[in-house]
Amino acid sequence: METQPVLSLQHLEKKYREFRLNIESLCLERGSILGLIGPNGAGKTTTVKILMNMIRRSGGEVRVLGLNPRKDEKEIKQRVGYVGEEPAFYGDKTVDWTGKYVSGFFRKWDTNRFQELLDRFAISRSKKIQELSKGMKVKLALALALSHDAEFYILDEPTAGLDPIIRREVLELLLAESREHERSVLISSHITDDISRLADRIAFLVEGRVVLSRLKDDINADWKKIHYKRGALDKDTTASLFSRKEHAFSLSGITNKFQELKQKFEKPVLDGDVKVENVDLDDILIALVEGEKSCG
């Protein structure tokens, strides 16, 4: 059994004039799904493109399926199913032509699977690409990515242009691929709902840095929203809260150490002075972005 991670980034660096991507460390185990969340311009697409060797990194170590994207670009692309942010195809060609053309490049192309996915996504084979909507193009890109028996899927904002029904279908398809065939998935998105539904591990990318990367369950256990009455929490605990807000009769904030502070909260919760809520990924992202800004 292979234990090597499908994705490993160490000290990855990419410098632009006004932006610097700097990922200390990021790993993804076989069969897992990693969600990369970040605001616009955080470096998600840059990271994904570096993995596909579409952009050259300035420094650091990158391994995809144990291979170096610079040296083994072709082999990586053979074994990876990729869907870019804005899928590009030749507009004057038909869906059928595109499928046939792409099939020529892959060793393990499965025509039946491709046809089945086209039917499932209701994409007409005879339609020209320029006649397809943005969502249809994304679906075609997904169908192509899922038809060559890839071991690892790299998807950059794949659900952005899709309607809720197809979005759910795509997510279920990816989940099934991961669970049934032990495929790994890296999905970048700012639609946190999708990541929350799909990912095992979540990495938050803010201003080019991974500010949080943990298992989804651990994040859910540690990150909580606290509503409290004035004076119900000690000064240190209050100071450690993110996104503090004052409401008419109470205050609120987000903690990232709920398990650690659990005991402190027990009594006030019983007294009704503190209320603990689950927090969604959007709130965590906002808290992290605010945290980054306040750190300068």
Would you say 147 or 192 has its CB closer to other proteins?
147
Stretch of residues binding other proteins (CB under 8 A), selected from 20-28, 34-42, 49-57, 252-260 = 49-57
Contact residue for other proteins among 38, 84, 158, 208 (CB under 8 A): 84
Would you say 14 or 224 has its CB closer to other proteins?
14
Contact residue for other proteins among 13, 29, 73, 280 (CB under 8 A): 73
Stretch of residues binding other proteins (CB under 8 A), selected from 19-27, 72-80, 161-169, 171-179 = 72-80
- CB-based contacts of 292, cutoff 8 Å, min separation 6: 206, 207, 209, 211
Contact residue for other proteins among 15, 41, 90, 277 (CB under 8 A): 90
> Looking at the DSSP assignment, which residues form a beta bridge with residue 153?
81, 185
Contact residue for other proteins among 8, 68, 78, 94 (CB under 8 A): 78
The phi and psi torsions of 89 (rounded to 5 degrees) equal: -140, 165
* Distance between CA atoms of residues 150 and 243, nearest Å: 41
Q: How far is the CB of 204 from other proteins (least distance, A)?
A: 24
Would you say 156 or 177 has its CB closer to other proteins?
156
* Distance between CA atoms of residues 54 and 152, nearest Å: 17
Q: What mask, x for binding other proteins by CB under 8 A, covers residues 91 to 130?
A: xx--------xx-xxx------------------------
* Distance between CA atoms of residues 157 and 66, nearest Å: 24
Q: Is 249 exposed, middle or buried (0-12, 13-18, 19+ CB in 10 A)?
A: exposed
* Distance between CA atoms of residues 240 and 230, nearest Å: 15
Q: How far is the CB of 54 from other proteins (least distance, A)?
A: 5
Q: How far is the CB of 21 from other proteins (least distance, A)?
A: 12
Size of residue set near other proteins by CB under 8 A: 24
Work out whether 19 is an interface residue with other proteins (CB under 8 A): no
Would you say 22 or 250 has its CB closer to other proteins?
22
- For the chain, the distance separating the N- and C-terminal CA atoms, rounded to the nearest angstrom, is 45
Site for other proteins in 51-70 (CB under 8 A): 52-56
Cα-Cα-Cα-Cα torsion 48, 51, 56, 60, nearest 10 degrees, comes to 110
Would you say 95 or 202 has its CB closer to other proteins?
95
**Which two structure tokens, joined as six digits, stand for 264?**
């402190």
In terms of Cα–Cα distance, which of 3, 4, 6, 1 is closest to 186?
Answer: 6
H or E element that contains 259: helix 258-271
- CB-based contacts of 195, cutoff 8 Å, min separation 6: 35, 37, 187, 189, 202, 281
Work out whether 74 is an interface residue with other proteins (CB under 8 A): yes
Q: How far is the CB of 294 from other proteins (least distance, A)?
A: 32
Work out whether 239 is an interface residue with other proteins (CB under 8 A): no
Q: How far is the CB of 48 from other proteins (least distance, A)?
A: 11
Which stretches of the chain bind other proteins, using CB under 8 A? 49, 52-56, 73-75, 77-78, 82, 84, 86, 88-92, 101-102, 104-106
